[in-house]
């Protein structure tokens, strides 16, 4: 009888332990299920705003459905927003033209991709407050006849292009007698077109040009001053985070709260850090 009672105690203890483990497992599963995920789309090919790399170095985030990682200014901003929201950051690599449709289709929560807050874009997506201001500049090769240009007149007759569906491309017509070529899908493609001699001048935002020069020493950025450069509206240089049109007020509030915690100086430091961390391989 004594042995029977001892055995019964052991069985009961094991049962209680197993039940407790089951509850702990369920609790863990529930916590995992309850974990918020902030799904962000970007090109992952637009340094220094975003790029693709093969390792998690420098705090890069793994790209959803890929063995590669995303890094850059946009990733840094996305990480700060996700942290503020208490969410896990999930990066989705999406071509530029697919970002707005992906947001509105609910495939991603937001597009953080160096997107200017233009009136036209506001017809299809809603935007956060400004998360970066980027002047528009020209980019050419150091040995080009346009390298010494002091203003847009100095680029007269240049064979030029820029990225598809960007304000940069629309500004090319401000170059006198410009020989405007078809737009290119992404920034790496633009850089290849310039370095290979297919075009002579590119129009892009200043951070992108700075990153291109940093990676390609044969290039030079033409940052015209005192009204001698591209004439732009504020909406063309103010960048925002895009969310689904008319569906994301709560999300916008959270994003704007996170952005308001960062000063202009904080953002400039992040951009400087991104430019230094970008891959140095030729585009």
Residue labelled with tokens 């200043």 = 206
pLDDT band at 9 (very low <50, low <70, confident <90, very high): low
For the chain, the average pLDDT equals: 88
Q: Chain-centre distance of CA 229, in angstroms?
A: 26
Q: Where are the domains of the chain?
A: 35-133+238-277, 136-231
Predicted confidence at residue 8, as pLDDT, reads: 44
Only one residue has tokens 């230094």, namely 276
pLDDT tens readout for residues 141-176? 999 999 999 999 999 999 999 999 888 999 999 999
Q: Do domains 35-133+238-277 and 136-231 have the same CATH topology?
A: yes
Distance CA 109, CA 103 (A): 6
Q: Encode pLDDT of 14-52 as tens digits.
A: 444 444 544 445 444 443 345 699 999 999 988 899 999
CB atoms inside a 10 Å sphere around CB 14? 10
pLDDT band at 2, cuts 50/70/90?
very low
> Which tokens belong to 164?
């598809």
112-135 pLDDT, tens digit each: 999 999 999 999 999 999 999 988
- What CA–CA distance (Å, rounded) separates 217 from 195? 11
Environment class of 29 (CB within 10 Å of its CB; exposed 0-12, middle 13-18, buried 19+): exposed
What kind of fold does domain 35-133+238-277 have according to CATH? D-Maltodextrin-Binding Protein; domain 2 (3.40.190)
Convert the pLDDT of each residue in 195-231 to its tens digit.
Answer: 999 999 999 999 889 989 988 999 999 999 878 999 9
Chain centroid to Cα 274, Å, comes to 11
Q: What is the 3-state secondary structure (H, E, C) of the chain?
A: CHHHHHHHHHHHHHHHHHHHHHHHHHHHHHHHHHCCEEEEEECCCECCCEEEECCCHHHCEEECCCCCEEECHHHHHHHHHHHHHCCEEEEEECCHHHHHHHHHCCCCCEEEEEEECCCCHHHCEEECCCCEECCEEEEEECCCCCCCCCCHHHHCCCEEECECCCHHHHHHHHCCCCEECCCECCHHHHHHHHHCCCCCEEEEEHHHHHHHHHHCCCEEEECCCCCCCCCCCHHHCEEEEEEECCCCHHHHHHHHHHHHCCCHHHHHHHHHHHHHHCCCCCC
Q: pLDDT band at residue 250, thresholds of 50, 70 and 90?
A: very high
Q: What is residue 225's predicted lDDT score, i.e. its pLDDT?
A: 85
Check if the beta carbon of residue 199 is closer than 8 Å to that of residue 193.
Answer: yes
Largest alpha-carbon pair distance within the chain?
A: 105
Collect all residues with Cβ–Cβ distance below 8 Å to 52 and sequence separation of at least 6: 44, 45, 63, 68, 69, 70, 93
Measured between its terminal Cα atoms, the distance across the chain in Å is 81
Q: CATH code for 136-231?
A: 3.40.190.10
Cβ-Cβ contacts under 8 Å for 32 (sequence gap 6 or more): none
């Amino acid at each position: 009888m004594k042995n029977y009672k001892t055995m019964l105690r052991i069985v009961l203890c094991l049962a209680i332990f197993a039940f407790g483990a089951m509850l702990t497992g369920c609790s863990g599963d529930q916590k995992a299920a309850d974990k918020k995920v902030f799904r962000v789309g970007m090109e992952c090919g637009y340094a220094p705003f975003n790029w693709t790399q093969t390792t998690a170095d420098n705090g890069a985030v793994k790209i959803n459905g890929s063995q590669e990682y995303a890094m850059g200014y946009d990733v840094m901003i996305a990480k700060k927003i996700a942290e503020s929201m208490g969410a896990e950051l999930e990066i989705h690599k999406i071509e530029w033209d697919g970002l707005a449709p992906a947001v509105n289709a609910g495939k991603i929560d937001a597009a953080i991709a160096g997107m200017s807050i233009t009136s036209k874009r506001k017809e299809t997506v809603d935007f956060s407050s400004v998360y970066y201001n980027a002047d528009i500049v020209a980019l050419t090769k150091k040995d080009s006849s346009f390298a010494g240009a002091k203003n847009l007149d100095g680029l007269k007759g240049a064979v030029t292009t820029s990225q598809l569906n960007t304000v940069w491309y629309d500004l090319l017509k401000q170059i006198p007698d410009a020989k405007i070529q078809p737009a290119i899908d992404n920034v790496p493609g633009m850089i290849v077109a310039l370095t290979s001699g297919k075009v002579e001048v590119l129009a892009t935002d200043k951070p992108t040009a700075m990153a291109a020069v940093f990676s390609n020493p044969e290039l030079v950025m033409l940052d015209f001053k005192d009204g001698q450069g591209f004439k732009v509206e504020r909406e063309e240089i103010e960048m925002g985070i895009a969310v689904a049109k008319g569906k994301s007020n709560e999300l916008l509030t959270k994003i704007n709260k996170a952005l308001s915690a960062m000063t202009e100086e904080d953002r400039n430091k992040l951009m400087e850090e991104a430019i230094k961390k970008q891959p140095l391989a030729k585009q």
